[in-house]
Structure 1
Amino acid sequence: MSSEAREWVWEHSTSRGTARLVLLSIADRVADEQCVSWASLSSLAKRTHASVSTVREAIDRLVHAGELEQLDDLTGPQRSTVYRLPLAAEAAVQTAEDEEADQALAERSEAAPALQISALRRCGIRPREVPESPARSRKPAGPETGRSRRKPARRSTGNRHPGVPETGTQNRSEPDLNRRYSSGAAVTSAAEWKVDPATHTWARQQGHLDRLGDQGLQAADAKWRAHRAGFKPRPAEAWAADWRSWIAREHAPHRPNRPAGHSKSSSAPSGMTLTEAHTAALLAALDEPTGTEG
């Protein structure tokens, strides 16, 4: 299933730079169709050759774009963070279902499917346990007899991830590449989102415009907006990726069959080839009276 999750990132994710590498690294550990994975900041930093702070910023951008969810109520192996690719999980469910059953498609829940914790345990992912701290015993009130001999514990300082730089970007051009994923990006609803020229060019270059036709593309767009009416507002990049995934899975409309009169060649009578049929017709025409006989 990790290959399908990576395929979704390559084909439909709008992330760029380190954010794209981080999403691919997380998708590489997806175990089933729920698109749930686990990873630590240090492991992601080593795999993407970026600093911990850069990886943390990339995760924030992916969460804001709606392409990644951080499941705080679950924990992975060695207490690593558990993530989910919601759009990839939704695409997997839509692909598995029968697309020709429009009624079943309309009645299906629009949200990503609920997690099955039992299926995730074999991957080492389990609910996070919060230990209950026992009540501290209170000392009886009384005057202090002196300063405590125990020295206060020193706070740990420095980088908690050895071998990985704490700050800094992967390269100097990275802030410019990822500027549009900043926290101030505007969000909109599916009904208000418009197909931008780049998305329309994609539909034409990928052959979906020729396959569906103008009317078929408009019908697929209307169906997509009807199914996304209840979704929360998202950035335009997230809507564009979801719209492309929908159009790529849409069936071409049924076209009427060509009338029999427009066939390239007429069928010959039973038991005769086409050449024999033409010869018989010519002989029959020669035997017919023309009115000029003596």
Structure 2
Amino acid sequence: MSLDAMDWVWTKSAAKGTARMVLLAIADKCPDDQCTAYAGTTMLVQRTNAARSSVVTAVDKLLKGGELRVVDGSKGPRGETVYRLPQAVGHVRGAAEVSRFGGPKSGPVQIPDRSGIRTPGGTASGPQGYGNRTPTGPESGPQNAYERNHQAEQQPRATRSPLIPELHPLGDALAAAGVAVRWTLGLGEQRDVFQLVKAHGVEALVDLAARRTAPGTEAKPARYWLKVWGDLGRPASAHPGPNVVPLRVPGPAAYADNLAAGLALLQAQKEGTR
């Protein structure tokens, strides 16, 4: 990168806010003293951690103000726009800056030995424990998303089952029978399912679920099965009362029998009131 170009932005540029950050991001990519670099809008959004519309507006301001120019006829490797910082060409950092970053008069940059230093909150791997700290602010933007996701993949994932231990046999039996269940029950609802297990047994619950699940059916929520299993404790039809005639299977003979039974019931009621 061109440290002279970046120094010009810090000390000479009149740009402010997002425009200044955009100019610094481009200067940081300048490979030599020509102060020319390619930069796409997506890259500038990532580096400045600003909204895309803000970056576009900032580039327009810099172009209008003359601190940034587009190099016509040139493109980056992915079609990025090539910019030039015309006013930064020929700018040389001050003697203090040259001495700080290294240069012809300063000799090689001396890196202090930190092998025996343990900084607060970190390790000896870098100053201020940078290698172990969690990025915040601009560092948490899109440009660091890959690093954060990669680190997250290295963390061991929990394998705890969402079911209470009492329901593990039921869950295993349902899975073995090909019944997919989304276990999203609260603790109280899981206890209700366990009461059904104690009342009817795992086999009865699994059998009912299997009969109501067609091959290839997507997983149903456990609340659906809780309602279905709740019907196991109820009779198929209510016991007939004194004024209820139990119906038989529909058919010509059944209708005649039902009519005869109804007439007999009415006759019995009349005789009882005399």
**By the TM > 0.5 criterion, same fold?**
no
TM-score, length of structure 1 as denominator length: 0.31
TM-score, length of structure 2 as denominator length: 0.33
Higher relative contact order (CA 8 A, sep 6+): 1
Q: Which of the two has greater helix per residue?
A: 2
The higher radius of gyration belongs to: 2
